Structure 1
Amino acid sequence: MSNRVEALARPAGRRENAKEAAEPPLEPAQGAGKRPDWRLTLLKDFGQGALIPLLILLVWQIGGEIGWISRDFLPSPLTIAESFAGLAGSGELLHHLGVSAGRAGLGFVVGGGLGLALGIATGMIRRLEYLLDPSLQVLRLVPHLAIAPLIILWFGFGETSKVAIIVSGSFFPLYVNTFLGIRNVDGQLFEVARSLEFSRTKRLLRLVLPAALPNILMGLRLSLAVSWIGLAVAEFVGSTSGIGFLINEAKQNGQPEVIFVGILIFAVVGKLVDSAVRLLESRWLHWRDSYQG
């Protein structure tokens, strides 16, 4: 009886200390804090993601072989593969792909670079936000493909108009996401920077850009995707080279298998570029403790 009374009278702090001593310390989860392997990222991205396309191709090929699908309407995957091999072997496909990649790259560098620079400027300087952001937001709501006829009217059917269409599309995703990323930086970090007497440049490079990097990379992915879409539209009109020209010429010649080759090139190259940015995210943002599913 006396033992029970002593146990009840024991201070709460002493009982808690005894409980903590009895429980083993929690070990960190296996793999916590480790940087994800880029090879594993690529394997998950392409390996698991290829299951549904492979299943569709299999059903597609079987449907064409047994006559369920008209080959004039939808050529079989093997026919498309033969057309791809012929275009690749002649060097024609590589030529058109190089031209398209050059246009998309130049348009993205100009448009995305301007978007990144203005996003940083308006995010850091409120007066610039008041001056520039309202006009930019109005322009953002205009579909960039809707102004393509006006760009062609101004610059003709040459390379300038094609690059300008890509620039108009790639600008806004990086601008908006960079601006939002900077404005979402924790305000207490700026107080720490002031107490450490960081210069404006040091505060931008050491504090703001690293904290806004997730938004900037998301804007990068969106900007690259829109650049690729703008490229297709630009090459459909008045072009003499590029993947879009290849598709348009195949339409006029009644070659659906070549059209599918062009579509496949757009899809695969776009996916490769997007996966490259995702790989950068996994390497640069490994410190994020976000939900991975």
Structure 2
Amino acid sequence: MSDVTLVSKAGKKKASIGKARRAGLPNWLYGWVLPVIVLALWEAASALGLVSDSALPAPSKIAKAFWQLALTGALADHVTSSAIRAGGGFLLGGATGLLLGIFTGLGKWAEKTLDPTIQMLRTVPLLTLIPLFILWFGVGEFSKVLLIALGSFFPLYFHTHLGVRSADRKLYEVTRILQYSKLHLLTKLIIPAALPNILLGIRLSVGASWLLLAVAEMMGASAGVGYMIQDARVYAQTDIVFVGIILFALVGKLSDSVVRLVEKRCLRWNNSYKG
């Protein structure tokens, strides 16, 4: 068999594989296969009476509750209140973590003085601080935003500090030869080198803000998704509890996807980025 024939057969084989791949599901649909199967089995189990509606309502009933809350406008009000709290806490904690991470990453004195204390505070479970927050700040909006900010602070601080400290020393030598000013050194070397770590810290901080939002809204809020879940628990409205859980999952996933999109656009220059 000649080489030309072998090459021709190999080409046909690759073409057939490519057609088979194109004939399959789009990549974005593969993530929905397992949830759809679980929902179908769940609905079937509810229809056959294998599970109790009071403990585990059927997906159709949860969807009905979701639709009713959306029609009355209560759903939009709760989501808006939660988004404002989570966004405010994330901006406060994230900005503080970013600035302190850069500050301790750049200066040895700042790292020796501040970083050990911050690392020690990072190990304290945030839920243990709730009684203190209530005693000091009450159960108003400030205590909730501050709790979310504290949870958002540590991931961004840690990864920013790590990114600044891990910048290539050879690049520092190049900037000295080119006589970069401190401002140019910060904007042209340090921040771009630390950007992958900073964006990873932002993703983790966004996730932490939504996790702590649920806790914060269960300690005395009058609106929000966490409050909706707590209120539904009191009245044994399990379907609404599931609506709140699904909302947290959807909004959390959406915010994480937005940050990942920013990562891909900001790190196109980085050949080692695999996000």
- The reply to whether TM is greater than 0.5 is yes
Selected match of 1:197 from 136, 161, 179: 179
Moved more, 201-210 or 63-72: 63-72
Cα distance, 1:281 vs structure 2 = 1.2
8 Å CA contact retained: 1:145, 1:165: no
- Tell me if 1:85 matches 2:67: yes
The match for 1:106 is 88
| TM-aligned CA distance change 1:152 to 1:178, over 3 Å | same
After alignment, is 174-183 or 141-150 more displaced?
141-150
Match of 1:156 in 2: 138
Alpha-carbon deviations, 1:55-113, whole Å to 9, x = none? 11111111111122211110000000000000000000100110000000000000000
C-alpha distance in 1 between matches for 2:79 and 2:235: 20
List runs of 5+ in structure 2 lacking aligned partners: 1-24
Distance 1:93 1:156, change over 3 A: same
Question: Quick one: structure 1 residues 229 and 129, their matched pair in 2 at CA, closer, same or farther if it must change by over 3 Å?
Answer: same
1:263 aligned residue:
245
Distance 1:150 1:88, change over 3 A: same
| In 2, Cα distance between equivalents of 1:264 and 1:226 | 17
Q: Give the whole-Å Cα distance in 1 for the aligned partners of 2:67 and 2:177.
A: 64
Q: 1:244 to 1:46 in 2, by over 3 A?
A: farther
Counterpart residue number, 1:22: none
Alignment of 1:1-293 (within 5 A): 46-290=28-272
Partner of 1:8: none
**Shift of residue 292 of structure 1?**
5.0
Pair 1:142–1:46, CA change in 2 (3 A):
farther
- On the 8 A contact 2:267/2:273 being kept in 1, the answer is no
* CA-atom RMSD in angstroms: 1.6
Shift of 1:148: 1.6
Segment of structure 1 superposing worse, 136-145 or 101-110 = 136-145
Distance 1:62 1:78 in 2: 11
2:21 matched to which residue of 1? none
**Scaled by the length of structure 1, what TM-score is found?**
0.83
Shift of 1:291: 7.7
Q: Which has the higher helix share?
A: 2
How many aligned residue pairs are there? 251
Deviations 1:248-279 (A, max 9, x none): 00000110000000000000000000011111
1:38 alignment counterpart:
none
State how far apart, in whole Å, the 2-side matches of 1:176 and 1:212 are: 12
1:50 shift after superposition: 1.8
Q: Percent identity?
A: 49
- Give, as a single letter, the amino acid of the residue that structure 2 aligns with 1:91: G
Q: Is this contact kept in 2: 1:112–1:223, CA < 8 A?
A: yes
Distance 1:291 1:125, change over 3 A: closer
Question: What is the CA distance between 1:53 and its match in structure 2?
Answer: 1.3
Amino acid at match of 2:91: V
Q: Is the 8 A contact 2:232 2:238 kept in 1?
A: yes
User: What is the TM-score with the length of structure 2 in the denominator?
Assistant: 0.88
Q: Secondary structure at the match of 1:146?
A: helix
